[in-house]
Structure 1
Amino acid sequence: MTEEIIIAGFGGQGVLSLGKILCYSAIMQNQEVSWMPSYGPEMRGGTANVTVILSDDRISSPVLKSFDTAIILNQQSMDKFVNEVKPGGTLIYDPNGIVHHPERKDINIYRIPGAALAAELGNPQTFNMIIMGAFLKVKPIVLLENVKKGLEKSLPERHHKLIPLNIEAIQKGSSNVETVHVL
């Protein structure tokens, strides 16, 4: 199994940490991983994306031109990456701020209202874990127990008290992902 993923949105949405936690979670399953971030000089508020590769085999290069899955969190990223999803691939997106919704018919498309659900939880910082939950519902390639281990590994110890809230956010995202189009 190899899964090539792009996660893209604004800086401050937890794009890079979502990718990092996903990688740590896959490492807990003895998978090979690649994490390659890209962000503008603006950081918070500027565009940010991360390419993540999870594989049972060695990864030859972290550089990708097309993706099995795209997780899109803003319009600029939708414009840039919607056509980079491989035919038969998957697009997961948060509709908040999306003006031009994806219309491709050769990919699976799912929507997760992550910003609204994070507001419901009373903590906007859970946004990226809500998105993680949607991803894991659609593509269960990492076990929840390993995501918990990944959170423990990637979060500073002073933030470990937030792990139960993050797990709750993952479960909320998993139970609220909406199917837009499936092949």
Structure 2
Amino acid sequence: MTTQPIIESGMTFGPYPESQCFHIEASNCYAAIQRHVRMAEFLLLRTNKNKTQTLWIVEAKSSTPRPENESKFDDFIAGIQEKLINAFSLGWASCLRRHPDAEKELPDAYKKINLSQTDVKFILVIKDHHEAWLAPVNDALRVALRSTVKCWGFAPTSVAVLNDTLAQRYGLILPEQGHAALNQTDP
């Protein structure tokens, strides 16, 4: 069984196997706390060929401010950082059953997750963004999330900014026709 596709920022994510996807932005856990709490779109639990689980925290945007417009760009990065950290925090708290709705909502795979052995990837997908424009956004987001990545002991490569073409290659968004290919390779 698969989830329904998630349509965000003009892109169609999924569908994914039901046990792998937690649409956290549409969850009751989030609804209960959403006032003044910004949230990323969804969590995607993937297992690579080495059987290592990675929790992908995904945020989607249709555009970004130019890095030259420092004030707007810094605000944009801070907003993305906030959403990704909040989604990570609520996802982990849900796995730990810190919220009453978690038991009913969490896919079974999330209830069995070994939090000490699971990697995390913070993913920002930007629609129609040129590949050459991804690096400054990726660098800024990596700096913004550096303390979170260090404190939690995640890999230095735990932050990735993709455009819709790259996201399609990694099986995050729906190709022109058909279903998302579940490519387990990390960005």
- TM-score, normalized by the shorter chain, greater than 0.5: no
**Which structure's residues are more often helix, by fraction?**
1
TM-score (norm 2): 0.32
Instruction: Looking at secondary structure, tell me which structure has more strand per residue.
Output: 1
TM-score normalised by structure 1 residue count: 0.32
